[in-house]
Chain A
Amino acid sequence: MLKLVAARIGLGIVSLLLVSLAIFAITSLLPGDAAEELLGQAATRETVEGLRARLGLDLPGHLRYLNWLGGLLTGDFGRSLANNVPVAQLIGSRLPNSLMLAAATAAVSVPLALAIGITAAMWRGSTYDRAVSMLTLSVVSVPEFLVATAAVIVFAVHLRWLSALSAATDITSVGQFFRVFALPVFSLCCVIVAQMVRMTRAAIIDQLRAPYVEMAVLKGVGPFRVVLRHALPNAIGPIANAVALSLSYLLGGVIIIETIFNYPGIAKLMVDGVSTRDLPVVQACAMVFCAAYLALVTTADVVAILSNPRLRHR
């Protein structure tokens, strides 16, 4: 089993390398380059050539890729084209904000989604289950910004409980902490919870179809006991898998949410980088996100391997 886990982690690292190659290739296909962008139209050919040599842009593609990859590994992410600040410093100042948002969202959404998903599976076919299915399907099939704008209208405009704009920089009290985080976390939770509920429910229902559950029902075990004592322990693997996969939807959601609420996180940094075409910033942020995504997906698979007793003795 350890071998399987090691193989899965190795596969994750290989994927990350391939992803870095893909990201570098896409951002380097463009005809113009950073040297021309930096110097503007008035630059002479000599100054462009000089800067190009200094930035290492005159090297062939594979050497530039290796330079860039080596930089990533040693924490040197290059300099932002927009303001010449080291990218590592920009990311370092934004990353804690995004991690805080992600942690708050996970802390709220995981217990909530598990409770809803398990109860929906327990009473499957009931009105409650159908309502949950309909609601979660609606949430996953509308854009994230609709969920967020709806939350703003309800909580900030009609009820006037919270302010629509948040700034994580001026938190002084616990109350303020909640006022700042409530709306972004709530909007993110809606998206994540919907995904997680659907997957959790599916994982448990899958187990309920197994012969041992039928046996338990035939012996006269009640519906609560069937789900909690018999199906749930066997569904832990698939559920943990579902949780890790749903959390990877955070990465997509957080891009929209940070922009709407003007939240100073790494996703906002990347979106701003894309609009100013600040490629070093975009490359570095994309790598951070892809690494997080692959880490979550790999964790999901590793958990599935660890929790499968049939694989325990291999």
Chain B
Amino acid sequence: MSGVLRRLSAGGIVGLAILVFWVAMALFGSVVAPHEAGAIVDMEVFLPVSAQFPFGTDYLGRDMFSRVLHGTRYTVGVALIAALIASGSGLLLGMCAAVWGGWVDGIISRTLDTLISIPSKMFALVVVAAFGSSVPVLILMAGVIYTPGAYRIARSLAVTVNAQDFVTVARARGEGTLYLVREEILPNILGPVLADFGLRFVYIVLLLAGMSFLGLGVQPPNADWGSLVRENMAGLHEGAPAVLMPAFAIASLTIGVNLAIDVLSGGRRSGEAG
């Protein structure tokens, strides 16, 4: 832990602070928000930033600040669960493939390779066309889309560790698969896997925001930040804060996580976008 703290750069601190703030808002945003999500607070639509309405008002005269806070749950919360599914199943499958090898590895790798050759947005559109877009569908869909990437990272890390002497020794001692995975492999690959989890989270936030922006993500009356941008597009020509603020919220979240990842991975970025 002290090692992590020593590596903290200014950017890392800012990134972690932004991340902690938005996660707190995902949990308590609806309590902290000054108004109800649907409450119409002013007759004037697309009001500029003021002390009373820090993010202005939206196309119906609702308080944008409250709407962004209420929406945090859908953007941050949904993406967090989906990223946990993606990284969790990727890690599990990756370690299985590395430890067992042979045909298990072959089957898992080939199946997930097929998934990777469908562009993520295309996969999302096809799934929404088939199943509609409820929150559980969105979570599962994003989880499945980003499992292959998490699997590749976890597998290649686990294969390297698996080939090392202390694992061979443990295996020769007669330890079972569960012990090998839990005590020998997992602790040694956890750092890079966590950094990769952060990247998955960013990709999922961007994917789901894009889907909501197209009107195919979180459905009214609920709204995530992508839907907030979409419903206020009419204010774009006046440069209304209602359309900019949710977009800036997304940008602050994704850039914040990127900065925080640099802390986790010791200043080295672990991968390119995909």
> A residues bordering B, Cβ < 8 Å?
15-16, 18-19, 22-23, 26-27, 29-30, 137-138, 140-146, 149, 152-153, 156-158, 164, 195, 198-199, 202, 248, 251-252, 255-256, 259, 270-271, 273-275, 277-279, 282-283, 286, 289-290, 293-294, 297
Contacts and interface: CB of A to CB of B under 8 A. Distances in A.
B51 interface: no
A15 B120 contact: no
A24 B126 CA distance: 10
A27 to B, nearest CB: 5
Interface string B217-235: 0000000001001000100
Contact of A293 (B115, B119, B130): B119
Contact of A19 (B118, B237, B251): B118
Interface residues of B, number: 42
A99 B206 CA distance: 25
B125 A142 contact: no
A277 B216 CA distance: 11
A282 B131 CA distance: 13
Given A30-B131, A152-B236, A282 B125 contact: yes
Contact of B117 (A156, A157, A293): A293
A290 B247 contact: no
A140 B257 CA distance: 13
Interface of B: 113-115, 117-122, 125-132, 202, 206, 209-210, 213-216, 226, 229, 233, 236-239, 243-244, 247, 250-251, 254-255, 258, 272-273
Contact of B255 (A16, A19, A141, A195): A141
B22 to A, nearest CB: 14
B272 A251 contact: no
A149 B216 contact: no
B258 A255 contact: no
Determine which residue in B120, B127, B130, B132 has the highest number of CB atoms from chain A within 10 A of its CB, and name it. Answer: B130
B216 A256 contact: no
B250 A143 contact: yes
Nearest to A153: B239
Contacts of B127: 26
Closest 4 CB pairs of A and B: A282-B129, A141-B254, A18-B114, A142-B251
- Chain B binding surface, main DSSP class: helix
Given A26-B130, A146-B251, A153-B236, A256 B210 contact: yes
A198 B120 contact: no
A141 B125 contact: no
Contacts of B243: 149
B251 A141 contact: yes
What DSSP secondary structure best describes chain A's contact surface? helix
B250 A164 contact: no
Nearest to B125: A274
A145 B233 CA distance: 11
Contact of B129 (A27, A137, A141, A255): A27
B250 A146 contact: yes
Contacts of A293: 117-119, 122
Given A26-B127, A142-B254, A271-B216, A15 B117 contact: yes
A15 B113 CA distance: 8
Given A143-B206, A286-B122, A275 B255 contact: no
Given A142-B206, A145-B229, 4 more contacts: A18-B117, A137-B258, A153-B244, A282-B125
Q: Which of B115, B131, B210, B244 is the most central at the interface, judged by chain A CB atoms within 10 Å of its CB? A: B210
B208 to A, nearest CB: 10
A19 B255 CA distance: 33
Given A137-B258, A157-B237, A275-B216, A27 B130 contact: yes
A29 B141 CA distance: 14
B116 to A, nearest CB: 9
Contact of A259 (B132, B214, B239, B251): B214
A39 B124 CA distance: 27
Contacts of A18: 114, 117
Contacts of A158: 239
A15 B31 CA distance: 49
A268 to B, nearest CB: 10
Contacts of B115: 22
Contacts of A252: 119-121
Contacts of B258: 137, 141
A275 B128 CA distance: 9
Contacts of B244: 149, 153
A96 to B, nearest CB: 20
A270 B216 CA distance: 12
Contacts of B255: 137-138, 141-142
Contact of B236 (A22, A143, A157, A255): A157
